[in-house]
Chain A
Amino acid sequence: MSIRILTIEDDQRIRTAVRFALEDEGWSVLEAETGEHALEYFKSTVPDVVLVDIGLPGVDGFEVCRALRRTSDVPIIMVTARDDTHDVVAGLEAGADDYVTKPIAPKELSARIRALLRRVRSEDTTAAPRSVGDLDIVPDEGVVRKSGNEIHLTKTEFHLLCELSDHLGKVLSREHLLEQVWGYDYFGDGRLVDVHVRRLRTKIETDPAHPRHVVTVRGMGYKLQA
């Protein structure tokens, strides 16, 4: 079955053009005009990737992200015309895995989609289970337990945690994490890492305000410790 991509975009012209471009990649494209439509749609069919425009009328893109995240860890790419820190961070905190800025070239867009799909598909079956303090990470099951209780992480959060645990106790730069987890080159946006680390902390740390496991090393990056 071919990959299904749901684009949520109120501008019909953009929607059509994006559909043409993504269909050229061999994917099937589903369209939703509003957030309400998308959420309605989601009840019956779960797509492989969701592209959501932030500036939707009615239920906006942030709300759609949050609503989708409540029930699913489907990969979400936020499409935004505003790349101000405020909008980007708000979108990522609402649960998006990645963001692209209009006008994005279709080649770049499909590269982002492919990177996300790779992340979702590649359950690392070779990596050994590991324990970090009260955390148990089982890569081949895609499962993390904190003191025995299973914690729900999105694929991106899980890959971020795995990458950090692969280099336990070592400081990883944002560039390194962007490359390994998101598949970006040097010019990836460090805010992606920052917000995902923040989200990860709220899930795995006992006190997210004073993280014990995922530690910020100022000006250098992040490291995982027991």
Chain B
Amino acid sequence: MKYNGLPWRRLPLRTRVIGAFTLGATVAALVLVVITYGLSRQSMLSQREESSQRQFFANARQVQSSLRAENPDLTQLLESLPSLSGSRSIIRTDDIWTSLSVTPNDLPSELVAVVVEASDARSMRYRLDDQPVLAFGLQLRPGDASSLEQVAYFELVPLAEVENTLESLALILLVGGILTVLVGVGIGLWASGGLLRPLTEISNAATSIAQGRFDTRLEEVRDPDLAALVDSFNDMAAAMESRITRDARFASDVSHELRSPLMTLRTSIEVMQHRREELSDRTKQALDLLNDEVVRFEQLVQDLLDLSRSDSGPMENDLVNIEELVKATLDIAEGHASLEVIGTARGALVMGDKRRLAQVFDNLMRNAEKYGGGATRVIVAPNGGNIEVAVEDAGPGVPPSERSLIFERFTRGATARKRGTGDGAGLGLALVDEHARRHGGSARVEGKSDGGPGARFVITLPRAGRR
């Protein structure tokens, strides 16, 4: 595997924080354990060594003084020597070894060799029968009356007890070390939680804003590092909210201004239609043109207003029966489309705004009317936890290259543009898409499943009560 840069940097922040704390705790525990163990070991051993040495010298002096006698009973002497924590003594007189419970072979030959040569006391640590042992040796001066030439006194002090204590200590230190590491991991978890909580809060706030709750703000914090972030986030949210409110108010104001003259136009046209018989043929034609344009104008104003509202406005939330809604839309459209409701889609409920959902299907019907010669078939079908409503027509269809563009505002299919009917403003499908998305669903266009000519617009909406 090839790494670019530090692999550490690519880990999630939380993992890195916990990792750092774990590593820190491990190093601290390790250093502490090693130092504590080392120091304890040294002090215990040297303490034992010192006391053993004192005892050794005392014993050696006693042996020395006994040697002044002519024929000392060495065995008795050895028995009389005090034995500190199981120490055992050996006396070497010339080449004869006298001992109680040890044999000369138990002594390391190196020590014997050194002691024989040296004039001062020597000691050596070694293992005897796999037990740690400290051995002392000192050459003694035989008394003048003695016939002996060379006398050496040795003492073996077992260190097993110290070793055992050290082992227990090591075990305790190990457990302590592991606990320290665990505490380190725990603190890491807690700290990373604390460190990431503001980030989680910011992320939640951003999501909430994205879902249209523009008055979402972060709570003030006292931490100077976070305060700057929180302040700038809140400033951004406030600026965005005021801008969106201003835009929405502008759109709403514009639509208000446009709706009043439209009302006069619409009403006057109908008054004229009422007197159609009084008009000449030419005037009738002109009136029809006027009427068509006013209808189109009204639709544009309505779509614009709905889009501006869909950007900002709150949504009604009700349980809507999709089958009933689609049926009612079809009745109003007065087309020739057949309705198929498949399986569990029958009576299926969707949480949403009835008027907006109605607008979605109404726009799809109008779109089919305009560009596809009218809807031929409307299918309501279940799809997992969703309900899909498909509106099919028998028109020229939508080429794959235009399928993602078609839901953008003010886009119309190239084919439609060429026809130059000038009908519609290209806002209908944008509204379909926005409304579907605000209901947690989506809109798409595809070819017909049977490969025949025509377009198939599909709205997917989440089923209520199954989330």
Contacts and interface: CB of A to CB of B under 8 A. Distances in A.
Interface of A: 11, 13-14, 17-18, 20-21, 24, 55, 81-82, 84-85, 101-107, 175, 185-187, 189-191, 219-220
B259 A103 contact: yes
B221 interface: no
A189 B271 contact: no
Contacts of A14: 260, 263-264, 267
Contacts of B50: none
A81 B270 contact: no
B265 A103 contact: yes
Interface string B264-293: 111110110010000000000000000000
A41 B261 CA distance: 26
B262 A105 contact: no
9 smallest beta-carbon distances between A and B, as pairs: A219-B319, A186-B328, A17-B267, A103-B263, A103-B262, A81-B256, A102-B259, A81-B259, A20-B271
B271 A106 contact: yes
B7 interface: no
B319 A11 contact: no
A186 to B, nearest CB: 4
A84 B358 contact: no
B318 interface: yes
B328 A185 contact: yes
B55 interface: no
Contacts of B252: 82, 84
Nearest to A83: B305
Interface stretch (B189-197, B308-316, B379-387, B405-413): B308-316
Contacts of B318: 190, 219
Contacts of B324: 175, 186
B267 A106 contact: yes
A55 B263 CA distance: 14
Nearest to B267: A17
Given A102-B259, A187-B358, A220-B319, A11 B328 contact: no
Contacts of B263: 14, 17-18, 102-104
A18 B269 CA distance: 11
8 contacts: A13-B264, A14-B264, A21-B274, A103-B298, A105-B270, A107-B270, A186-B328, A220-B319
Interface in B225-271: 252, 255-256, 259-268, 270-271
Given A82-B252, A103-B265, A191-B316, 4 more contacts: A17-B271, A84-B313, A102-B259, A190-B354
Nearest to A218: B319
A29 B183 CA distance: 86
Which of A85, A102, A187 has the most chain B CB within a 10 Å cutoff? Answer: A102
Contacts of A11: 260, 264
A70 B253 CA distance: 31
B355 interface: yes
A17 B259 contact: no
Which of B256, B268, B298, B331 has the most chain A CB within a 10 Å cutoff? Answer: B268
B348 to A, nearest CB: 13
B262 A102 contact: yes
Nearest to B358: A187
B297 to A, nearest CB: 9
Contact of A82 (B256, B266, B274, B316): B256
A153 to B, nearest CB: 26
A81 B355 contact: no
Contacts of B268: 17, 20
Which of B274, B309, B325 has the most chain A CB within a 10 Å cutoff? Answer: B274
Contacts of A81: 255-256, 259-260
A84 B315 CA distance: 10
A106 B332 CA distance: 19
Interface in B38-60: none
A84 B309 contact: yes
Nearest to B317: A219
Interface string B335-351: 00000000000000100
A11 B262 CA distance: 12
Given A81-B255, A189-B355, A102 B270 contact: no
Contacts of B355: 187, 189
A24 B274 contact: yes
Given A20-B268, A24-B271, A103-B265, A190 B316 contact: yes
Contacts of A175: 324
Contact of A102 (B260, B274, B313, B328): B260
A21 B319 contact: no
Nearest to B324: A186
Contacts of A219: 318-319, 349
Contacts of A187: 328, 332, 354-355, 358
